[in-house]
């Protein structure tokens, strides 16, 4: 864990992790209740490619999740975009239902949840609690 912070009475948080391979992972969550806007984006930056995954607001119907890959080709930027209308939030609930009803192995088992909690707690502790 190399960084963490929170501000605005806890309505905004951030954290940074150094991965074993030397790359850096930055996360931020910011809530602005007066703004009617929702953005959730994950981006992976590699030397030759950039991959991004953009989720729509879970309250909107028929909005696609967009996966985009861009790379250089013939001295130009080439980008491919994939749109899926299989709502990720609905699929999450369907998988949970499948786990409960049919005993399907959960993609996010308790061990994963424990690791998530550990990372998030370390982010908070890195920031300190004095605000």
Partner 1 sequence: MRTQVREAVGADSPAVITAFEGAFLGSLVHDVNLVHGLLERLGERCRPR
Binding site for partner 1 (CB under 8 A): 1, 6, 9-13, 15, 17, 19-21, 25, 27-29, 31, 40, 42, 44, 53, 107-108, 112-113, 115-125, 129, 131
Six-digit token string for 94: 């369907």
C-alpha angle 15/21/22, rounded to 5°?
55
Q: Tell me the CA end-to-end span of the chain in Å, nearest whole number.
A: 20
Judged by beta carbon, residue 72 or residue 117, the one nearer partner 1 is 117
Judged by beta carbon, residue 27 or residue 63, the one nearer partner 1 is 27
Judged by beta carbon, residue 10 or residue 82, the one nearer partner 1 is 10
Burial classification of residue 15, based on how many CB atoms lie within 10 Å of its CB (0-12 exposed, 13-18 middle, 19 or more buried): buried
Judged by beta carbon, residue 76 or residue 130, the one nearer partner 1 is 130
Rounded Cα gap, residues 131 and 115, in angstroms: 26
């Amino acid at each position: 864990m190399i960084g963490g912070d929170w501000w605005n009475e806890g309505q905004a948080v951030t954290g940074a992790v150094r991965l074993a391979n030397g790359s850096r992972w930055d996360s931020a969550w910011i809530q602005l209740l007066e703004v009617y806007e929702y953005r959730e984006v994950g981006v992976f930056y590699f030397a030759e490619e950039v991959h991004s995954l953009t989720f729509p607001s879970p309250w909107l119907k028929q909005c696609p999740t967009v996966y985009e890959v861009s790379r250089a080709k013939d001295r130009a930027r080439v980008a491919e975009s994939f749109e899926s209308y299989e709502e990720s939030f609905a699929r999450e609930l369907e998988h949970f239902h499948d786990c409960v009803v049919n005993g399907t192995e959960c993609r996010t088992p308790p061990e994963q949840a424990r690791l998530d909690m550990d990372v998030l707690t370390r982010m908070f502790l890195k920031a300190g609690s004095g605000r």
